[in-house]
Structure 1
Amino acid sequence: MSQSGYKVSDLVKAAGVSRQAYYKWLTHEPTVHDIQDQEILKLVKQLEAQHKHCVGYDKMTRLIKQERLSYTVNKKRVMRIMKKHSIKADYRQPKRKRVQEQETYEAQNTLNRQFEQAAANQVWVTDTTEIAYNIRKYKARLHVVLDLYGQYPLSWIITPTETSTGAIKAFQMAKQEAGGLAPLIHTDRGAAYTSKAFNHYLAS
């Protein structure tokens, strides 16, 4: 203590403990339970390193039990030790190649600018656009599904942002209005339309 430049009385006051408690801790002999906890902690750190720091409480308990220690180790004890030493699983998600995912759902331009249609419900086109209101302070997204025959909107919906959920909802409303989906649906290559959810909806 003297080497650090602080008195014991100052340190225990800062820590909020009594001098008696400090000296009791200083001369404390580790119990069997304390020794076991240290052994478990050492195992936890080893297993964390082996499994690249992605082991949760349940799996960690199972792995420690496989070590066949001479005493019982349960999940509650493992949780207490890991929390005490700020050890937790790192569940970072792998980086997704979003560009490649979108390209999977980018079809050829089948419509090829054939905007004149001879019958209803043969070709639907859709798009989403940003709209501003309250002197452009707030913004929202407008989704529209248009039948090229007569070029009238079958459905429209406003959502806070551009999402596949909004695009799907617009088509569900159009399907209900027309009694079914058109055999050809034309979109741009926006994120909502190249999403897995939207394309799975159309495929189903």
Structure 2
Amino acid sequence: MVELVREGRSPEELAKEFPPSAQSIRVWVRQADLDDGRRADGLTTAEKDELARLRREVKLLREEKEILRKAGGFLRAGDGSAEMRFRLIHAEKDHHGVSLLARVLGVSRQGYYAWAKHRPSRRAVEDTQLTAKIRSHHAASGEIYGAPRIHADLREIDGIHIGRKRVARLMRAAGLTGVSRRKGCRTTITDRRAVAASDLVRRRFTAAEPNRIWTADITYVPTWQGFLYLAVVLDVFSRRIVGWAMAEHMRTELVTDALAMAIAQRRPDAGVIHHSDKGGQYTSLAFGRRCEQAGVRPSTGRTGTCFDNAITESFFASLECELIDRRTFHSRSEAERAIFAYIEGFYNPRRRHSANGQLSPAEYEHRQALKPTHEDNYAAA
């Protein structure tokens, strides 16, 4: 057709004799002129082929980028094993070719087809999905929680009811562990000249309602600037920290400040018991006067017996292994901010406590407050 047009035949005349339309013949002639160099207002056939090849490569690169983007989110849910890569190929094979997916993810196409022919059991699939949720809850706790609290998270947050031993097995397989506790250091210094209060608790760390028994103690936090000392007041009813104070010393005002915070926050009725060890701060005259003014009954355990104040020692052990031992504090102010965030942002409102049926102190108090009292039942009757 091109040669006939070049010999003088018009496209319209040729279209009457041959099937192609006149417009198609004009297009062929124009392309032939471009290829032969007779005109330069368009692309030659070779240039068009190269452009098409580049477009195919760009499309391929975009597909590879999309695959890698999806792979990042998909593989973070479990791990980077061939199993997880095969699962991603299976999920995306309707959108991308299997060969492309296998090449981008670094596995063989034959391996995928062999895997697809022998799919994992339902139990294995469930374990993979559970492991992803366990990883999520473990990370949300700051990598603090062990199997009991992860088990409670799965039950209450996700509505998943499985055995605790299965959670422990999956955590071991995934290399996930809770934190462990450190050995303590003595902060109780007894004033042998002081007259200590008698033990009103006698290791009975239970209370029927809030603000009946408080326990208190002091611990230290190492920083590059020196020790920061923390005094706390804990409500036995819910294990909630109701008062705390921090300072670079262990003088009596440290414990009186913690007590003042507890009184201001809880406003207890007269007669609440404040139980501590026989440290000089708690047996001082200043602390005794502060208790008397607030209607607080002081109580102290025996010297050198941590079990007489075990409930507060337990809180300090949790604080130390979940926060202090996992951080390096460059200054006391940095430590203060971290401890404040732990107590008021995590421990009181969110941290599950075994004594509360794996409820946080705040949630336990809230649920107990919603329960009808004996007087409510009597009034309803």
TM-score by length of structure 2 reads 0.26
Structure in which a larger fraction of residues adopt helix: 2
Flag the structure with higher strand content.
Answer: 1
Larger radius of gyration: 2
What TM-score does the superposition give when structure 1 sets the normalisation length?
0.47
